[in-house]
Amino acid sequence: MSQVVHERFVAIAETLSPALAEAFARGGPVNFRPDDSQPLAERLCRSVAGQQLSVKAAGTIWRRVVEAAGDTPLTDFLAEADGEALRACGLSAAKCRAVGAIAEQARLGGLDTETLRELDYPERSRRLTALWGVGQWTADMISIFHFGDEDVWPDGDVAARKTLIRLTSPRRKTTRTAARFAPHRSWLALYLWRHVDAPPL
């Protein structure tokens, strides 16, 4: 599959920009390996906790959260912990509120993985972004890396968007360029992240 997608991407890129085609060809195929082994609520909370932080800083904060939970199931800890305990781990007040709301929604049964998996991308995004503190970027990362949706273009991701602009043209909308790669726009993001060596959480 990855080789088929790769050959198609190089062919499309050649019609858009020599720099884009060269970047794809030089890097070779990418591997698309979504992972849904972690409970969805925990994945969402970790993603929110890491927003606007470096990968290293986000990892450090999340390790503190897990350590603070101890033997308590993480979702229960996040739903019940007071703000002071979470802020001591490095979370902002807004992120404390967000992870608490996500965890509580999960405990109430509002984050059923299989139900969300069966939805199309727009509806899944609508449901995820209805959660307090979950923005479109987080919803996109969950759709790509947790649910394995192959056709998500995360235009709110700065690394992916700026790299696509740099390798094509600042005069062309990135959503229009990305549309050329449907139904594999998630793969496009993977190619671009690899190019700048800046994978998301």
Catalytic residues, by residue number, are: 157
> What 3-state class would DSSP assign to 66?
helix
The closest of 153, 46, 139, 135 to 89, measured between CA atoms, is 46
Burial class (CB in 10 A: 0-12, 13-18, 19+), 162: middle
DSSP state for residue 184 in the 8-state scheme? -
User: Could you give the 3-state DSSP secondary structure of residue 90?
Assistant: coil
Whether the CA torsion 111, 115, 180, 200 is positive or negative: it is positive
85 vs 51: CA distance, rounded Å:
19
